[in-house]
């Protein structure tokens, strides 16, 4: 069993020594990807690579973001015949003592992908920076809907592990190279029927600076998540399968949209003329909206209960 840790590094000269030092002895390879850092990260990593033969140093000449660094690390880990690949950040935010618990479900063939869950520890949660906590909670529901993993409570957690077998089945080129990396991983894993488990762990924050931009999150995430959601629904319920939820969507969505548009048009029409609308004009859109909403609600209930749960259904679809 070859266990590899991939560390995306960008301006982490203050923390990278401690991060590597704290890694457990069972780790076979430590792939550090210096993503064109502007501080002494490359110099420090070069020195550490001489001291520790487990360290594989890769330097990016152009900054590619955390996703780009991970893609480079994933490719190298496969070349090293790794069985389990772990992502841990270079800013010492993640407690490496959780690595054995993180990889156990993969080793035991109970999961293809594992990730940390910081929201089980309420005491540590209070210490999480407000911006980070707000962003995580606000995006959680949207990422669940887009990815299909309704069982994941902390989808933005970047402390993850994946089996090399599963990594080889996903289209690595579809993984987002920057801030959307964690979400895009979940989205692509869903299309390979990957079984995911969360490992409760404490949030760890010190003097690191958050790179989460509220503006970028509000403007960048919604269109990407919407696109991923539409793609998932089409592939899951109309191309790869056709089931009761497909019928709910097929009839529910048009009924809801037609009823909503018909109601708005007539509301404006009769409202602007200051005349009461006929009873039928009010009842028809109301019934269409109610029927459409009920069907879509049933489709949502079906979708929530049908995320990948067991490994015996793992088959690549894309």
Residue pLDDT, tens place only, 88-106: 999 998 999 999 999 999 9
| Exposed/middle/buried for residue 12 (C-beta within 10 Å: 0-12, 13-18, 19+) | buried
What CATH number corresponds to the domain at position 57? 3.90.550.10
DSSP 106-120: HHTTS-SEEEEEGGG
Q: How confident is the model at residue 273 (pLDDT cuts 50, 70, 90)?
A: confident
Residue 22 has pLDDT above 70, yes or no: yes
Q: Are residues 279 and 133 in the same domain?
A: no
Whether residues 126 and 182 share a domain: the answer is yes
- Residues 181, 258, single domain; the answer is no
Q: Are 33 and 112 members of one domain?
A: yes
Q: Which of 118, 79, 82, 75 is CA-nearest to residue 103?
A: 82
- Its domain, for residue 113, covers 3-214
How many CA atoms within 13 Å lie on the side-chain side of 219? 4
- For the entire predicted model, the pTM comes to 0.86
What's residue 127's pLDDT?
A: 66
The count of structural domains within the chain is 2
Beta strands in 82-203 (DSSP E): 84-87, 113-117, 160-163, 196-200
Residue 13 is encoded by which pair of tokens? 């000269």
Q: How far apart, in whole angstroms, are the C-alpha atoms of residue 9 and residue 213?
A: 19
**Domain shared by 100 and 145, yes or no:** yes
**Residue 235 in domain:** no
What is the pLDDT at residue 277? 86
Based on the domain organization, do 154 and 107 belong to the same domain?
Answer: yes
Q: Are residues 274 and 200 in the same domain?
A: no
Asked whether residue 289 is domain-assigned, the answer is yes
192 & 250 share domain: no
Confidence of residue 221 (pLDDT cuts 50, 70, 90): confident
Can you tell me the distance from the alpha carbon of 86 to that of 99, in angstroms, rounded to the nearest whole number? Answer: 8
Calculate the average pLDDT of the chain: 89
The alpha-carbon radius of gyration of the chain (Å, integer) is 23
């Amino acid at each position: 069993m070859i266990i590899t840790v991939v560390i995306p590094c960008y301006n982490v000269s203050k923390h990278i020594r401690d991060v590597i030092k704290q890694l457990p002895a069972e780790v076979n390879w430590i792939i550090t990807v210096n993503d064109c850092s502007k501080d002494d990260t490359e110099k420090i990593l070069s020195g550490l690579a001489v001291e520790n033969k487990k360290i594989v140093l890769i330097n990016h000449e152009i900054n590619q973001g955390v996703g780009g660094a991970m893609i480079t690390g994933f490719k190298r880990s496969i070349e090293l015949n790794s069985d389990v690949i772990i992502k841990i950040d270079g800013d010492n935010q993640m407690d490496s003592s959780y690595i054995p618990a993180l990889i156990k479900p993969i080793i035991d063939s109970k999961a293809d992908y594992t990730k940390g869950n910081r929201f089980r520890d309420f005491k540590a949660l209070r210490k999480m920076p407000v911006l980070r906590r707000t962003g995580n909670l606000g995006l959680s529901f949207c990422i669940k809907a887009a990815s299909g993993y309704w069982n994941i409570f902390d989808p933005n957690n970047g402390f993850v592990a994946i089996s090399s077998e599963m990594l080889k089945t996903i289209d690595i080129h579809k993984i987002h190279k920057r801030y959307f990396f964690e979400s895009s991983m979940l989205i692509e894993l869903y299309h390979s029927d990957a079984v995911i488990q969360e490992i409760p762990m404490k949030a760890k924050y010190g003097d690191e600076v958050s790179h989460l931009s509220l503006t970028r999150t509000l403007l960048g995430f919604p269109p990407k998540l919407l696109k991923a959601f539409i793609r998932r629904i089409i592939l899951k319920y109309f191309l790869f399968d056709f089931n009761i939820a497909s019928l709910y969507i097929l009839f529910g969505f048009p009924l809801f949209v037609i009823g909503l548009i018909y109601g708005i048009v007539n509301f404006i029409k009769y409202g602007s003329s200051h005349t009461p609308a006929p009873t039928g004009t009010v009842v028809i859109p109301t019934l269409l909206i109610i029927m459409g909403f009920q069907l879509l609600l049933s489709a949502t209930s079906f979708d929530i209960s049908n995320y990948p749960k067991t490994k015996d259904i793992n088959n690549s679809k894309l």
